[in-house]
Amino acid sequence: MSDAGLLTLSLLIPLAGALLIGLTGRHPNLRESVTLATAVLLFATVVALLMRLNAGALPAVVLHEVMPGLSLALAVEPLGMMFGLIASGLWIVNSIYSIGYMRGNKEQHQTRFYICFAIAILAAVGVAFAANMFTLFIFYEVLTVSTYPLVIHKETPEAKASGRTYLGLLLGTSIGLQMVAIIWTWVATGTLDFTKGGILDGKIAAGVAPFLLALYMFGIGKAALMPFHRWLPAAMVAPTPVSALLHAVAVVKAGVFTVMKVAVYIFGVDFLARTGAATWLMWVAAFTLLTASLVALGKDNLKARLAYSTVSQLSYVTLGAALATSMGVIGGSMQIAMHAMGKITLFFCAGAIYTATHKTEISDMDGLGRAMPFTYGAFLIGALSIIGLPPMGGSWSKWYLILAAADTGHLIMIGVLMVSSLLNVAYLLPVVGRGFFAGSDAAPAHGAVPAAGAQVTTGSRLRRIKEAPLFCVIPPCLTAAGCVVLFFYADRLYRLLEPIAKP
């Protein structure tokens, strides 16, 4: 198949998937098979595209010209390739998990759930492969709108209120700020194509560049830069598979991915470095990074804590872009992949705990680790990756970011990164610690009557293991393994990303 055909196919597959899911809605088994098959097919397509890219081809296709000079177009480049791989790859794992979770918790409206999910993935892939800012913006908005029904899935008043925050902030920032920035770019340069080295150099005055950058950065609400981060904790009312794939991977990563794209292909790293337009952004990112971590410390709800952790971790990527060096760009881009793998693991675990015990507050989870060793083991690995300890993938991105900070002489940023890692330790590890060590064995795991809680023998301890359904336990174990694998194969990622940083 031609490159262009393959690229178009990557959008058509989830679209067809969504339609088929709708048609097979009455037969849950068939419906879920369709979801899985779509996910696998999509991943295969993206991998095929990766092979073309590695072979030196740059697949591109113009789908449609909307207005003279403005077209819906797709093109593959390394950064988008990485994001596409993450989104489509983790969709497979997440689909397996969704089956376990949605059935385990007897959720309503499952067909709607799977349809919206497929469309959201379609939008994520569209964002990943967009050839110009216009196309990216469109898929960005599709992503917002298609995830709204997922956020309000439970249809409780609380979910509706959160849905309002979610939609209000994401639509508000994107239409209110980002669109202005895009049109400004269009008026100034006459193009919106992602071009190596940027398109703004020489087209706008260095003095106004920070303002345009601000319109972009705050306009990309999905990057959750403070003070526009409120939507992310709000989105946590959604079922956990949504939080896991969308609000730890697809949606938020679409945000920081756009940040990267704008920094690298619209402004150009050189232009940013020369004019210092991104210096303020560095400070905002650092502020968000630390503040969100501090807020996370105070959260007792596990998902809320993870959400604020995400806000903080996303700012690493923005920070990487703001440092405006090739190291920073690579570190930030790697963070997209590493954090995705780590955070999805954590969310899977949170969901598994909820499915097994219906507990959401960390203070209630004392001793659960002994009942759910696999889940908690995966949680530990994911947490270590987020913190950035070897041998977990997360360590590499932090490493490159620190190198970039040292490179550009922003030594204070090294301090920020270190403090943040410590904060990560402080809010993530206690969860594991309490799970394994706190509380007495008498604490019942899941309403099980502690028959002979005082004298526990090894045998009864094994019997007390009460994991979530298999479909909910295998995915976090897989992604936890992925965190380790990413540590050893980081050089491949580095080589994939290298071309975007080199002029």
Partner 1 sequence: MIAYHLPILQIVVPLIAAPLSAFCRRAGMAWYLALIICAASFAISVALLVRVLDEGHISYLLGNWAAPWGIEYRIDAVNAFVLLIISGMGTMVLPYARVSIADEIEPHNQALFYTCYLLCFAGLLGMVITGDAFNAFVFMEISSLATYVLVALGAKRDRRALSAAFTYLVMGTIGATFFVIGIGLVYMVTGTLNMADLAARLQGLEQNRTALVAFAFIVTGIGLKLALFPMHLWLPNAYAFAPSAVTVFIAATATKAAVYLMLRFLFTVFGTDYNVLGLTLTYMFTPLALAAMFAASTVAIFQFEIKRMLAYSSVAQLGYTVLGISFASVTGLTATMIHLFNHALMKGALFMAVGAIVLRHGAATIDSVRGLGRTMPWTMAAFVAGGLSLIGVPLTVGFISKWYLVAASLESGRWPIAVLIVLSSLIGVIYIWRVIEAAYLEKPPEGRTAREAPLSMLIPTWGLVGANIYFGIDAELTSRVAGAAARLLLWVAP
Q: Measured from the CB atom, is 172 or 430 closer to partner 1?
A: 172
CA dist 235 and 162 (Å) reads: 6
Binding of residue 168 to partner 1 (CB under 8 A):
yes
Near partner 1 by CB under 8 A: residue from 23, 57, 183, 465: 183
Nearer to partner 1, 24 or 173 (CB): 173
Q: For partner 1, which is the closer residue by CB, 155 or 361?
A: 155
Beta bridge partners of 193: 132
Q: C-beta of 111: minimal distance to partner 1 in Å?
A: 14
d(CA 123, CA 144): 9
CA-CA distances (angstroms) from residue 336 to 105, 322, 329, 429, 465? 30, 15, 11, 22, 34
Q: How far is the CB of 3 from partner 1 (least distance, A)?
A: 24
Determine, following the binding rule CB under 8 A, whether residue 160 of this chain makes contact with partner 1: yes
- Please, which residue, 97 or 129, has the CB nearer to partner 1? 129
Q: Which is nearer to partner 1, 184 or 374 (CB)?
A: 184
* 167 lines the binding site for partner 1 (CB under 8 A): yes
Between 138 and 438, CB nearer to partner 1: 138
- Shortest distance, CB of residue 417 to partner 1, whole angstroms? 34
Q: Centre a 10 Å sphere on the Cβ of residue 462 and count the other Cβ atoms it contains.
A: 9
Q: Which window, 8-16, 174-182, 298-306, 459-467, contacts partner 1 (CB under 8 A)?
A: 174-182
Number of residues that bind partner 1 (CB under 8 A): 28
Specify the stretch interacting with partner 1 by CB under 8 A; choose among 10-18, 164-172, 334-342, 469-477. 164-172
Q: Which lies closer to partner 1 via its Cβ, residue 204 or residue 344?
A: 204
In whole angstroms, give the CA distance from residue 11 to residue 34: 16
- Phi then psi for residue 386, to 5 deg, are -65, -40
Minimum distance of partner 1 from residue 158's CB (angstroms)? 12
Q: Choose among 254, 339, 293: nearest CA to 83.
A: 254
Q: Which of 25, 28, 104, 172 binds partner 1 (CB under 8 A)?
A: 172
Cα–Cα distance between 107 and 55 in angstroms, integer? 45
Residues of span 424-453 touching partner 1 by CB under 8 A: none
| Cβ nearer to partner 1, comparing 177 with 413 | 177
d(CA 300, CA 242): 20
* Helix residue ranges, H only, 24-156: 28-54, 78-104, 110-129, 133-151
Report the candidate in 233, 21, 235, 224 with the shortest Cα–Cα distance to residue 121.
Answer: 21
Task: Find the largest Cα–Cα distance for the chain.
Answer: 78
Q: Which of 62, 154, 184, 291 binds partner 1 (CB under 8 A)?
A: 184
Structure tokens at 437: 């060590």
Interface positions, 38-77, toward partner 1 (CB under 8 A): 64-68, 72
Instruction: Candidates 16, 41, 50, 180: give the one binding partner 1 (CB under 8 A).
Output: 180
CA angle 394, 396, 401 (to 5 degrees): 105
Whole-angstrom Cα distance, residue 342 to residue 338? 6
DSSP label at residue 70: E
Least distance to partner 1 from the beta carbon of 245, Å? 23
Q: Out of 179, 425, 481, 485, which residue is the one contacting partner 1 (CB under 8 A)? A: 179
Question: Please, which residue, 184 or 399, has the CB nearer to partner 1?
Answer: 184
CA distance 158 to 180: 32
Cβ distance 247 to 310 under 8 Å? yes
Distance in angstroms (rounded) separating the CA atoms of residues 228 and 214: 13
- Contacting residue, 54, 58, 176, 433, with partner 1 by CB under 8 A: 176
Residues 82-141 that bind partner 1 (CB under 8 A): 137-138, 141
Strand duo 70-75 + 60-67: pairing:
antiparallel
Residue 96 CB, nearest approach to partner 1 (Å):
30
Q: Which residue's CB is nearer to partner 1, number 100 or number 219?
A: 219
Please, how many CA atoms are within 13 Å of residue 338, restricted to the half-sphere of its CB?
39
Question: Which one, 127 or 292, has the nearer CB to partner 1?
Answer: 127
Q: Which residues pair with 64 in a beta bridge?
A: 72
Site for partner 1 in 312-351 (CB under 8 A): none
According to CB under 8 A, which one of 1, 15, 51, 187 is a site residue for partner 1?
187
Candidates 48, 50, 171, 426: give the one binding partner 1 (CB under 8 A): 171
Answer whether 158's CB lies under 8 Å from 124's CB: no
Token pair for 311: 């806000």
* Nearest to partner 1 of 53, 151 (CB atom): 151
Query: Residue 154, exposed/middle/buried by CB under 10 A (0-12, 13-18, 19+)?
Result: middle
Given the rule CB under 8 A, which of 169-177, 254-262, 418-426, 454-462 is the region that contacts partner 1? 169-177
What would the two tokens of residue 306 be? 């993870």
Residue 177 or 474 having the CB closest to partner 1: 177
Q: What is d(CA 492, CA 486) in angstroms, rounded to the nearest whole number?
A: 9
The residue range among 183-191, 286-294, 319-327, 383-391 that interacts with partner 1, by the rule CB under 8 A, is 183-191
175 part of the interface to partner 1, by CB under 8 A:
yes
Residue 212 Cβ vs partner 1, minimum distance, rounded to whole Å = 10
Query: Contact positions toward partner 1, by CB under 8 A?
Result: 64-68, 72, 137-138, 141-142, 145, 152, 155, 160, 164, 167-168, 171-172, 175-177, 179-180, 183-184, 186-187
